Chains A and B, each alone.
Chain A
C-alpha cells in the first residue's frame, strides 16, 4: 500500500493544500490580503505537487490497476498543475472573481486540477467516470461563480444539464462494455472484447460499437468536440474569464489524454494493426467536424471571449487529429501541442481579462486601436493569436507541424484528407484572428481611453509570450519531453 500512496503523492499534496486553503480562508476572514495569501498557499501547494511529481519513484499499475504511473500521465499531470496555477493567478488579477469568495475559487480550481491529474492516470472505466465527475462538479460551480450575473448562471445551468446528460450516456456505455467484457480494467478490456467478438454473435458488434461510442461521448463532452460542443460557447462566454481560461485548457487536455488511453489501451491501437472498433475513423471524422464547425462559427463572433471559445473548440479538433492517427509520433504531437496550446490560449484569455478589467467590455469594439492605447497588451495578444493560427516562427506552428507530419507519415488516404482539412482550417482561422488584430492595429480607436495593463498582468503576459516565441525557434527541449511522454525515447 505504501508504494500505492506514493504514486499519487502529488494528488495527496493537492488535497492537503485544498484543506489548508479552506482553513486559512476562515482564519483570515476580513483581512484585505486574504486573496494574496491564499494564492501564495495554493501556489506553494502546486509547486509541492510538482516537486513530488518530478521525484516520484515508480512506474506501473497501482491500487489494483485503478491508476497507472507512466510518462504520459506524468507529463500531463505536470501540465495540469501549471494550468491550475495559472487559473488561480488569473483569478487574483481579475475583478470578476469576488474578493470575499476568493477562497472558494481557489479550492474549486484545486479540486478540478486534482480531477484532471487523476483522470489522466486512470486505467479503469470506473476510475475514469469518478475522475471526470471530480473535474465536472467544481467546474459547474466555477462557471456560475458570479451569482448575480445572468449569463454566468445560465452558463452554469447549461453546463450542469449537458454534463449530466453526457455523464449518463457515458455510464450507460461503460455498463455495456462491462456487460460484454466482464471487466472494467482497460488492459483486460481489449482481449476480453476480442474474445467476445470472435464468438461471432451479431449483437456483440452492436453492443461494442454502442458502448465505445457512448463512452467516447462522455470524454468528447469534456473535450468539447462536435457534436458535444454546444455547451462550450455559452459557458465560456458566461463564466468569469479566469474560469474560462482554466476550463479551455486543463479539462480539455485531460479529456484528450484520457481518450488516448481509453482508445489505445482499451480498444487496441491503430499502430498495431486493425483495431476491432474503427475508432481512428470515428475520431478522425469528429476531429474534422470539430475543427470546421469551431472555425466557421468563430467567423461571425463579435464577443471576443465567445470567439476564443469557438477557437478553443477548433483547437480541440486539432488535438483530436493526433488522437485519431494514434501512432506514438501522433501522441508525441499531442503531448507537444498541449503545452503550446496552454501557453497561447491562456495568453489570449489573459489579454481579454486585462482589456475587460479596464474597459468592462468584451466586444470587438473595445479592442479598436488597442495598438496605440495599450501597445503591450496588443502586441502580446497578436503573438498569441498568430500562434493560434499556426504561423511560423511561433510555437503554434511547431505544434501543428508535428500533428500534420504525424498524419502524413502514416500515409493512409484518410489521414491525408484529415491533414488537408486541418491545414485549410488554419486558413479559415486566420480570418477571425486577424479580425481582432485588425481591430487592434488597423482600425483607429480615436477617443477611446488608454488601457495600460496593470504591472502584474503585463509581466504574466511576458511570461506567456516569450516561450510562445522561443518555442517556435528552439523547441528541442519540449520535443524531447513530449517524445518521452509518448514513449518514443
Chain B
C-alpha cells in the first residue's frame, strides 16, 4: 500500500474556501484603516465568496478528471506528520466514495453560493432578506463550512476527520441561528425559529460526536502498529487505510472486550449512533425538520444536499470498513431502521402543510435507502446507496431552491395557501414539477437510479428478511408519488388564487441555480455511468469484509 504524497491538488481544493475566508477577514481587519463603506465590504465579501466557490468547483472537477476509478487505491495523497506524540497526521486522499462526495460538495456549495446573493429584479423587497444582513460574517461562515465538509470527505486520518467533522458544527449553528427565521411561537405556544433549530441541531450532533470521540480513542488503543509519513514506526495509528487493513486482519476482533461486551460491537454502536444522528435516522431525526424549516434557503440546500451525506459517508467509511463483522451482526437492525426511515418519512410527508417541512421529511425518507443499502451489503445495493447520496444531493437542493422561490415572493410556504399558480408562474411550475418527479423516483431522472439499485441489491441479498424489507419499502414509492402529486395539485392546479396575482415568475438568479441542477438530474437519470465508473474499484474493497 503506497501512501506517499503524490499531489497537492486535494489540499488546494479543501483549503480554497479557507483562503477566501482569510481574504474576507483581512478586509474586515483593514476596515478601520481604509474606512470602506459597508456596501463595499458587503459586495466584496459576496464577490470573494462566489469566486472562491467557483474556484473550488473547478478544482473539484479537476480531481474528477484526473481520477482513475478502476482501482481501489487512494489517489491525490497528501500526507505529513501533524502531532507526533499521538501519531496524528495531516492525511488527505480520495477513493471513489470520497471523490463522489467531494464533487457533490463543490457543486452544491456553488448552488448555495449563488442562492445566497441578494434579490434582484423588479420585485419590491419589504421583507428583511437574510442575504442583506451581516454579509461578511455570512460568507466567512459559509466558506468555513465548505472547508469543513470537504475536509471531512477527504480526511484519511481518524483524528483529522474528527476535527473537520466538528468544524462543520459551528458555522452551521450560526448560519441557521443568525440568518434563519426569527423566533416565533407555534400554535401550541412553544418557541420555535432559527435560534431554537440551531441549538437543537448543535446538541444532537454533538451528542453523537462525543460517542464517536470515545470510539475513536478506543480504536486507537486497540490498533496495531503503524508508520508515519516520515517513516517513523509507531505503536498505534489513526491512519484509516492502515486501520482498514488491520480490521481485515482481525485486529479489532482480538481486542479486549469493553464492559464484558465484544469490542467491535460496542465501538460499532458508538460510531453508528454518532453517524445515524447526522443521517438522520429515525428516531434521531427530529432536529432535521426544525433545522430545515428555519434555515435560510441556501443553508437548507447545503444541509440537505451535503451535510446529511456526511453521516452516511461515515457509516460506509468507518462502520462498514472497520467493523464489517459487527455490521453483519447488526444488519437486521440497520435494515429495519432504514425501512422505518423510508416508510415513516413518507407517511409524515403526507401530513405536512408547510412545503419546506414536507421536503425535509422526504429527505428522511430518501436517506433511509442509504441505510437499507448499507445493511444489505451487496455490491448493487452499496452502489445504489452511494448513488442515492449523489442523486439526493442534486435533487434535494433543487427542492429547497424551489421552496425558496415561492417563499421569497409570497412569504409563506403553506401549501394550502396557493392554488392554480401554474397560470401565473408556468416556468416555476415546470421546474418544480421536474424536481418533484425526480424526488419521487420517476425513471429517467436521478432519483430513480439509486432507489431501484438499492431495492434490486437488497432483494438479491442472501437473507430472506431483506425481501420482506424491500417489499415494505417499495410501498413507500406509492406514498411518495401520492404526496408529491397531491402537493403539485394543491399548489399549481385548480382555480387561481387572486391573492397571488402580483407574483412574478423565476428570475435569473434562480435560473442560474436551478437549471444546471435540473440538467444534472436528467443526465444522471439517463446516463448514471460516470458515477459508477468513479465507484468501480472502491465498492468491492469497501464491502470486502462482509460475510455475504
Interface, chain A (partner B; CB < 8 A) = 372, 386, 391-393, 397, 401, 404-405, 408-409, 411, 413, 416, 419-420, 423-424, 426-427, 430-431, 434-435, 438, 441-443, 475-476, 479-480, 483
Contact = CB atoms under 8 A, between A and B. Distances in A.
A476 B85 CA distance: 8
In this complex, the member of A392, A416, A435 whose beta carbon has the largest number of chain B beta carbons within 10 angstroms is A392
A115 B324 CA distance: 57
A443 B191 CA distance: 14
A392 B162 contact: yes
A21 to B, nearest CB: 38
Contacts of B174: 441-442
5 contacts: A391-B170, A392-B163, A413-B260, A427-B207, A434-B173
Contact of A416 (B194, B199, B206, B258): B258
A409 B221 contact: yes
Given A391-B170, A434-B199, A408 B163 contact: no
Interface string B19-53: 00000000000000000000000000000000000
Contacts of B468: none
Contacts of B167: 392-393
B177 A441 contact: yes
B333 interface: no
Contacts of A475: 83
Contacts of B199: 431, 434-435, 438
B206 A426 contact: yes
Interface of B: 83-85, 134, 162-163, 166-167, 169-170, 173-174, 177-178, 194-195, 198-199, 202-203, 206-207, 210-211, 213-214, 217-218, 220-221, 256, 258-260
A442 B177 contact: yes
Nearest to A398: B83
A416 B259 contact: yes
A122 B374 CA distance: 59
A434 B170 contact: no
A368 to B, nearest CB: 12
- The SS class assigned to the A binding surface is helix
Given A431-B203, A442-B195, A423 B213 contact: yes
- Minimum-distance CB pairs A-B, first 4: A423-B210, A442-B177, A442-B195, A392-B163
Given A386-B170, A392-B162, A416-B258, A430 B194 contact: no
B214 A408 contact: yes
Contacts of B85: 476, 479-480, 483
Contacts of B258: 416
A430 B162 contact: no
Contacts of B256: 411
A434 B194 contact: no
A438 B178 CA distance: 9
In this complex, the member of B84, B173, B195, B210 whose beta carbon has the largest number of chain A beta carbons within 10 angstroms is B210
Contacts of B195: 438, 442-443
Given A391-B169, A413-B260, A431-B199, 7 more contacts: A372-B134, A408-B217, A423-B211, A427-B206, A442-B194, A476-B84, A480-B85
A366 B329 CA distance: 54
B206 A430 contact: yes
B178 A441 contact: yes
A59 B199 CA distance: 51
B218 A408 contact: yes
A399 to B, nearest CB: 13
Contacts of B84: 476
A480 B195 CA distance: 41
B141 to A, nearest CB: 11
Nearest to B204: A427
B257 to A, nearest CB: 10
Contacts of B221: 405, 408-409, 411
Given A392-B163, A434-B199, A475-B83, A401 B178 contact: no
A335 to B, nearest CB: 14
B211 A413 contact: no
Nearest to A419: B214
Nearest to B177: A442
Given A391-B166, A438-B177, A430 B213 contact: no
A102 to B, nearest CB: 32
A442 B183 CA distance: 10
B177 A427 contact: no
Contact of A424 (B162, B178, B210): B210
Nearest to A425: B210
Contacts of B163: 392-393
In this complex, the member of A404, A405, A420 whose beta carbon has the largest number of chain B beta carbons within 10 angstroms is A405
A401 B213 contact: yes
B248 to A, nearest CB: 24
Contact of A442 (B198, B220, B260): B198
